[in-house]
A and B are shown apart, each in its own frame.
Chain A
Amino acid sequence: MTHRDSVTLPAPQMEIDHIGLSFGGVRALLSVTFNIYPGTIQAIIGPNGAGKTSLLNCISGLYRPQQGQIRFEGRNIIGMPPHQIARLGIARSFQNIELFRHMTVVDNLMLGRHIHMRSGIFSGGLYWGRAQREEVEHRAFVEQVIDLLEIQSIRKKMVGALSYGLQKRVELGRALAMNPRLLLLDEPMAGMNTEEKEDMARFILDINEEYGTTIVLIEHDMGVVMDISDRVAVLEFGQLIAYGTPAEVRSDPKVIDAYLGREHAMPRM
């Protein structure tokens, strides 16, 4: 994996600019500022409760931060409803799987095509002309995603009946079916065994390389994070305490403090 030199960085795809979010008296995010560069894989790490998921929720429009701006390709997206943010090309998966459990895998992925389709109640009900053509066209795209994620054998299964690891994969597939420019993954490998984690890491790298999709992932497995990310942002108690390449972040004393505790970082005599 090539880590990009900080001198020759391209224009950022997303600028997270002094984001502040609080719930009543609880301050979840404090003036968080960093950039996300196109075509990279960026990780957000930090201890539990650091505000990682809150930050993703701000990006996808589920939370509305009180301060700051989030600019996607130059445009401020704070205040836009989630479905419009999705239309800009931002997709995400959730920490606790949020699939449509009573639908098949194919239907879940077809819902990922929702923003690219046009047919409405009337044309859909008549199933004539455009609606019919659209179903077949977008099904072909969905099949590409099914091939990429190697879930051919379960395409007609009800999602609720699948194992946890497969559900995580289907959820990634649904986000991917949106053909996003920015893909936000909230703990895509949580609760997986080593083999499943390796599969998932491979899929993430494949997506990044084949489609050129920018990927932001929250992950606790440091081995995976350091291996596949181009840049890492570290949050603690709602504040950004470090941001840089994996090597920079790994040797940052503040990060060592946050993860290992101060005493361990002090020289012992």
Chain B
Amino acid sequence: MQSGTFHTTYASDVSLRPYWPQRIRIVIVLALALIFPWFADRYWLNLANTIAIAAIGAIGLNILVGYTGQISIGHGGFLAVGAYTAGMMAVHLGAPMWITIPVASLFTAAVGAFFGLPSLRLKGLYLAIATLASQEIIIWVLTHGKLLGIGESLSLPRASNNLFGLPLDRLGNNDFAFYWVCLVALILTVIFVSNLFRTRAGRAFVAIRDQDIAAQVIGVDLFRYKLLAFATSSFFAGLAGALTAHYRGIISWERFTIDTSILFLAMIIIGGLGSVSGSIYGAAFMTLLPAFLSNLARALSDVVPNINSYLPYMQQGAFGLAIILFLIFEPEGIVKMWRNIKDYFRLWPFSY
């Protein structure tokens, strides 16, 4: 009797989901994702879209921080580059989103590679401070952008929400229509990044994180791959930023400050560094936590008057608490907790 999964070809051995329970789980998750919008109201659709966009951004940051080991606190700036590029193309050129989103992502990748230049000399905390500088430079350009013809805030024409000639309004309300756009973008991102990290370039990124000297000696060009990591990471930041711009319709620089950069760092730390699924869990956690707290506050408003005025402080406190608790009890994040649960059931009823 066969007592395990045996691979007879290297191709099956390197496949991403080799076991049938994993494949069934993927099908179930996809089916739920397809059913969800038909039952959810706009509040939940909005949350789902926010999570999907945040997850794309978090996956992007994880490529740089979790996989390549280059600490960045400039991710908010790159989201802003994506959002403003898409926004300006929509406003000034009247370009539809199926053009603005790819162009904005590519442009952000180029900007990211440029701001990644210090990484060739700097490591660790020193690099973090350099990326902080890039964050501030980008925000400065946006707030003083009249020279470059950038307004501090932009409002995108509704007509730009158009996919290959199909106006998104045709699909239903804004939240419902964008659910599909965000879902497809997230699925493509997940597939691309998962594939990336089982092939040559992705392995080189991880090699740089684990042992940069050994990586050089086996032939990895540090210069090239660090810049590629910044570019790839920023590409997805640009994608998330451009999606935000079209989904919200209005963008302003306040959405992309250092707070956003730190929020994204918190997402990947809580979700799991160096993990695609962890990025999604982290994005969901950090989006649902404030929503949960404000619902809680509403429920308690009869008992505790004025609770709504404390809400912002409660949310910030909860963020801080969540990060500290994760760092202490599960530094490897939600993805590791999920793995522990799966291991427990796989071995059940034995504990070893």
Contact = CB atoms under 8 A, between A and B. Distances in A.
Given A111-B204, A124-B200, A136 B10 contact: yes
A62 B217 contact: yes
Interface of A: 60-62, 81-83, 86-87, 91-92, 94, 98-103, 107, 110-112, 114-115, 117-121, 123-127, 131-132, 134-136, 139-140, 143, 174-175, 178
24 contacts: A60-B217, A81-B216, A83-B217, A83-B222, A86-B219, A99-B214, A101-B211, A102-B206, A102-B209, A102-B274, A103-B206, A103-B210, A107-B203, A111-B203, A111-B204, A111-B207, A114-B203, A124-B201, A125-B193, A126-B192, A127-B199, A134-B199, A134-B200, A135-B14
Nearest to B9: A136
Top 4 A-B residue pairs of the complex, sorted by shortest distance between their CB atoms: A124-B199, A86-B219, A115-B219, A127-B195
Contacts of A60: 217
Given A82-B217, A100-B207, A121-B201, 20 more contacts: A83-B217, A83-B220, A86-B217, A98-B214, A99-B214, A100-B206, A102-B209, A102-B274, A103-B210, A119-B201, A121-B228, A121-B232, A124-B202, A126-B192, A127-B195, A127-B198, A127-B199, A134-B199, A143-B10, A178-B218
Interface in B190-247: 192-193, 195-196, 198-204, 206-207, 209-211, 213-222, 228, 232
Interface size class of B (residues with CB under 8 A): 20 to 34
Contacts of B202: 124
A200 to B, nearest CB: 19
B11 interface: yes
Interface string B40-51: 000000000000
Contact of A94 (B192, B195, B201, B214): B214
Q: Is the interface of B mostly helix, strand, loop or mixed?
A: helix
A125 B196 contact: yes
B180 to A, nearest CB: 22
Contacts of B222: 83
Nearest to A120: B201
Contact of B211 (A86, A98, A114, A140): A98
A82 B216 contact: yes
Contacts of A120: 200-201
Nearest to A159: B210
In this complex, which of B199, B202, B204, B213 has the most chain A Cβ atoms within 10 angstroms of its Cβ?
B199
Contact of A101 (B11, B198, B210, B228): B210
Contacts of B210: 99-103
A100 B216 CA distance: 12
Nearest to A100: B210
Contact of B192 (A91, A100, A112, A125): A125
Contacts of A131: 195, 199-200
Given A60-B217, A87-B219, A91-B218, A135 B198 contact: yes
Contacts of B216: 61-62, 81-83, 86
B321 to A, nearest CB: 28
Nearest to A98: B214
B217 A111 contact: no
Contact of B203 (A99, A110, A140): A110
A121 B274 contact: no
Contact of A100 (B201, B211, B219): B211
Contact of A136 (B14, B203, B213): B14
A136 B192 CA distance: 19
Contacts of A100: 206-207, 210-211, 214-215
Nearest to A132: B11
A132 B213 CA distance: 28
A121 B206 contact: no
B241 to A, nearest CB: 20
B218 A111 contact: yes
A121 B68 CA distance: 14
Nearest to A160: B210
Which of A83, A134, A140 is most buried by chain B, counting CB atoms within 10 A of its CB?
A83
Interface string B1-29: 00000000111011000000000000000
Contacts of B200: 110, 114, 117-120, 124, 131, 134
Contacts of A99: 210-211, 214
Nearest to A119: B200
Given A119-B201, A136-B10, A112 B195 contact: no
Contacts of A62: 213, 216-217
A80 to B, nearest CB: 12
A56 to B, nearest CB: 10
A178 B193 CA distance: 26
B221 to A, nearest CB: 5
A136 B11 contact: yes
